[in-house]
């Protein structure tokens, strides 16, 4: 993070977030080990627990459960910083603290929150959010996983796919259909024990994010108490929509952090690599690539922090979060491609993390709402 203006507009506390988190992660997850862990598909549990022990998992959660009630801007700076160190670790954090954790925070009963959130904040418990199905991606209203009432319980049956960190989760936040004829008005969320009878998790092998990879999750008449319903019966769509702005803010912040890492690594290479008697960074063709990468990273970051400030001001920036998500994730993928081009064959080799940045960045325009869906949201917000 070598931009001299990186801290402009940040409070002293937010500057401290960046400095403290970077220092912590350099010890808990040394950069020289990251490629080994990625190759071995090893979940970064030591770094995750180090964040938990330092209190960072609880950043967006209430103090009564051990959290610190940080602002959305605090959260954006934190996620950006973690992602600068390693984007997969940032995703592991988001899966529990934001995607699953926010549904518990806003939808669970007082008893369930008291049971789950302190353990989540301490790192003793992890979550995964289960929405996507083999036949249902962007059209969430068409999910087919059923929850059928059986006395005071519900029986859940169905299949989810591409579920990040499900193999490491203690509980699953599962989107189900409780009224199969009502599309989005028939969705209900449940908190399901990941080790309950009838739950099966099968890891999938994807192009990137190999430390935290995605999974298929199967539910075969899994019995869940009605007390584990998150929010109201048939109110799951509203609950999911409520969390989207903060989720997309975090995805944009993670992409910004990864772009800054790509730029720094590529610059280290380009200033040391000499061709035709000069460092390749001195040639205009390379320097202009760096300029374009910096334009993308800075523009995305400005938009992302603007969205965070809007959320902190109580606004509902539906269009702006979609813009930030598209801008940051598409720019991240382009930056990774340009970083690899600058490095040439060295960036293409598995011995350098540039190839990992390239692979990991690609999913950004797909997960959390595709770029196509984001553009449709933007157009709708424009009144088109």
197 shares its domain with 103? no
**Domain, as residue range, for 106:** 12-122
Q: Is residue 98 in a domain?
A: yes
pLDDT 10s digits, 126-136: 999 999 999 99
Cα angle vertex 176, ends 140, 149, to 5°? 155
Q: Is residue 4 in a domain?
A: no
Burial class (CB in 10 A: 0-12, 13-18, 19+), 351: exposed
Q: Which two tokens stand for residue 339?
A: 């970083």
Mean per-residue pLDDT over the chain, rounded: 97
Q: Is residue 2 in a domain?
A: no
Mean pLDDT of 297-318: 97
DSSP 8-state assignment for residue 230: E
25 shares its domain with 151? no
45 shares its domain with 154? no
260 shares its domain with 338? yes
CATH of the domain at 212: 2.40.110.10
Taking only Cα atoms into account, the Rg of the chain, rounded to an integer number of angstroms, comes to: 21
Mean pLDDT of 135-143: 92
| Residue at which a domain ends, from 191, 217, 234 | 234
pLDDT at 3 over 90: no
CB 281 within 8 A of CB 271: yes
163 shares its domain with 230? yes
Looking at residue 294, what is its pLDDT?
A: 97
| Residue at which a domain ends, from 122, 139, 164 | 122
187 shares its domain with 249? no
Q: Is residue 321 in a domain?
A: yes
Q: Which two tokens stand for residue 224?
A: 């869940």
Looking at residue 2, what is its pLDDT?
A: 75
pLDDT 10s digits, 311-336: 999 999 999 999 999 999 999 999 99
Residues 6+ apart with CB under 8 A from 255: 83, 300, 328, 329, 331, 332, 361, 364
pLDDT at 1 over 80: no
180 shares its domain with 224? yes
Residues 6+ apart with CB under 8 A from 151: none
194 shares its domain with 257? no
pLDDT at 144 over 90: yes
pLDDT 10s digits, 51-78: 999 999 999 999 999 999 999 999 999 9
CATH of the domain at 313: 1.20.140.10
Nearest one of 119, 210, 131, 230 to 170, comparing CA atoms:
119
pLDDT 10s digits, 93-125: 999 999 999 999 999 999 999 999 999 999 999
Looking at residue 100, what is its pLDDT?
A: 98
138 shares its domain with 117? no
pLDDT 10s digits, 355-378: 999 999 999 999 999 999 999 999
Looking at residue 214, what is its pLDDT?
A: 95
Q: Is residue 6 in a domain?
A: no
Q: Is residue 79 in a domain?
A: yes
* Percent of the chain topping pLDDT 90: 96
118 shares its domain with 132? no
Domain count, the chain: 3
pLDDT band at 158 (very low <50, low <70, confident <90, very high): very high
Q: Is residue 30 in a domain?
A: yes
Looking at residue 4, what is its pLDDT?
A: 72
Q: Is residue 3 in a domain?
A: no
Q: Which two tokens stand for residue 283?
A: 């040639």
The separation between CA 364 and the C-alpha centre of its own chain, rounded to angstroms, equals 9
CATH of the domain at 89: 1.10.540.10
Query: Rounded to an integer, what distance in angstroms lies between the CA atom of residue 14 and that of residue 77?
Result: 7
Integer angstrom CA distances of residue 14 from 1, 8, 90 = 15, 11, 17
Mean pLDDT of 286-298: 98
| Residue at which a domain ends, from 190, 208, 234 | 234
115 shares its domain with 217? no
156 shares its domain with 131? yes
Looking at residue 6, what is its pLDDT?
A: 86
């Amino acid at each position: 993070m070598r931009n001299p203006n990186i801290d402009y507009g940040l409070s002293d506390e937010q500057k401290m977030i960046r400095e403290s988190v970077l220092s912590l992660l350099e010890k808990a997850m040394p950069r020289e080990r990251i490629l080994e862990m990625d190759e071995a598909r090893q979940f970064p549990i030591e770094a995750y627990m180090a964040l938990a022990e330092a209190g960072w998992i609880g950043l967006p959660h209430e103090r009564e459960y051990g959290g610190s009630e940080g602002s959305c801007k605090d959260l954006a700076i934190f996620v950006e910083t973690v992602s600068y160190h390693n984007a997969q670790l940032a995703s592991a954090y988001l899966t529990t603290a934001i995607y699953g954790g926010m549904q518990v925070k806003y939808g669970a009963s007082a008893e369930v929150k008291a049971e789950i959130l302190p353990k989540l904040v301490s790192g003793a418990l992890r979550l995964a959010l289960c929405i996507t199905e083999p036949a249902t991606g962007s059209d969430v209203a068409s999910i087919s996983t059923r929850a059928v009432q059986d006395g005071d319980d519900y029986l859940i049956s169905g299949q989810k796919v591409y579920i990040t960190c499900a193999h490491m989760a203690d509980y699953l936040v599962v989107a189900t259909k409780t009224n199969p004829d009502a599309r989005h008005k028939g969705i209900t969320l449940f908190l399901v024990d990941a080790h309950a009878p009838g739950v099966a998790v099968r890891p999938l092998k994807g192009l990137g994010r190999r430390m935290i990879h995605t999974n298929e999750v199967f539910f075969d008449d899994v019995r869940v108490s009605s007390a584990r319903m998150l929010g109201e019966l048939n109110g799951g769509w509203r609950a999911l929509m409520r969390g989207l702005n903060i989720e997309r803010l975090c995805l944009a912040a993670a992409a910004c952090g990864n772009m800054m890492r790509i730029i720094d690594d590529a610059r280290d290479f380009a200033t040391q690599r000499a061709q035709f008697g000069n460092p390749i960074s001195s040639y205009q063709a390379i320097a202009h690539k760096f300029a374009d990468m910096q334009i993308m990273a800075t523009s995305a970051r400005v938009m992302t922090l603007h969205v965070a400030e809007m959320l902190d001001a109580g606004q509902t920036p539906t269009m702006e979060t979609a813009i930030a998500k598209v801008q940051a994730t598409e720019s991240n993928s382009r930056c990774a491609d340009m970083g690899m081009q600058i490095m040439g064959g060295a960036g293409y080799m598995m011995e350098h993390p540039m190839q990992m940045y390239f692979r990991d960045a690609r999913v950004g325009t797909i997960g959390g709402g595709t770029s196509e869906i984001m553009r449709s949201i933007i157009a709708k917000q424009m009144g088109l």
